[in-house]
Amino acid sequence: MLQCHVKGCNANNFPLELQEVVLEEQEAELNEDFLRNMLGKLEYEALVATCLKLNIQDLPPTIPEDAAYNDDFLQKLHHALLETHVITGKMVCPNCQHTYVIRDGIPNMLLAEHEV
Amino acid sequence: MLPTPDLSHLKQADYNHVYEPSEDTFLFLDAFEDDQKYLETLKPAISLEIGSGSGCVTAFVGKILGESSCLKLCTDINPRAARATVATVRQNKLTADVVETSLVEGLLPRLKGKIDLMYFNPPYVLTPSEDVGSRTIEASWAGGIDGREVIDQFLPFVKDLLSPKGAFYLVVIEENKPEEICNILHQDGFDSAKIRTRAAGRERLHILKFTRRTAPEDKH
């Protein structure tokens, strides 16, 4: 959901590409209502592309028509969204190549003075 | 009465770098407790706290909403505060996604119109302008002229981030000129309410709540 915000970088800058990633899986309670709520807010293509980079290959390329009541799909979405955490890594802008660092599970989106 | 979040993992040394929950924080918690029913009905899918500091408020809101029902986002410009937020939500058996950034930089345009619940206990203390813009604990209180410099920087984002049903809660003191803040957001289409007020030492604290003005009924 994060996007490059370097001044003048406004095209082809999403999704940021994850690199050198260390993942952690943490079990979380599945809440179908929440996932249904999220369906309308997701940029699904970007999510799938990012998951593929992380070798999470079980999400279908498009949201199934019956997504809201497709248990199998909701389970996979739940796993990708809520149980997979990037602990360390980099997010690289596909346009300007700016690198944002993730440390302790926290992405740093701060820019240096000259980039704002 | 909901219990205050467990902060026992944070030590005095941490509070040298991260704002220690204080009267303003507790008034904010009280306001959310008052609004518990409203929040349960609102059912936010995504919440966002700006300047989450110790993480106390997001942990409290997370308890109200229930861990699995809401994706809780937090930002803080102070790296130690961002880590304190992670530790606090974890200590309270919750999760939150924390981003180290200034206000909401990097979150737009992707989160445009997607935030159902947003809250901000801003740096509201009146200080010289030069004190604004640090990435240390000073960022938690230094508000510049009228204590409004950071608040005013953020206000234009409210209309961009909030979903149609979304609500925004803001802590202010009398010197921040709450009526003026309400007027600014009124022009962006928001109704305002002062939902809590408390005197704490020299500060007169208020909690403001903003929701999108519903379109006037069509009489034709």
Backbone dihedral angles phi then psi of residue A6, each to the nearest 5 degrees: -65, 140
Which residues from A are below 8 Å from B109, CB to CB? 3
Mean pLDDT across B95-120: 95
3-class DSSP state of B200: strand
Q: In the predicted model, what is the mean pLDDT of residues B17-43?
A: 97
Please tell me the predicted confidence (pLDDT) of residue B217: 52
Please state the rounded mean pLDDT for residues B173-191. 98
B86, A110: Cβ pair inside 8 Å?
no
Q: Where are the domains of chain B?
A: 19-212
The answer to whether domain B19-212 has CATH 3.40.50.150 is yes
A111: which residues sit within 8 A by CB, 6+ positions away? A5, A6, A98, B105
Contact B99 A34 (CB under 8 A): no
Q: How confident is the model at residue B215 (pLDDT cuts 50, 70, 90)?
A: low
Chain B 91-150, residues with CB within 8 Å of chain A CB atoms = 95, 98-102, 105-111, 114, 135
Task: Answer yes or no: are the C-beta atoms of B75 and B98 closer than 8 Å.
Answer: yes
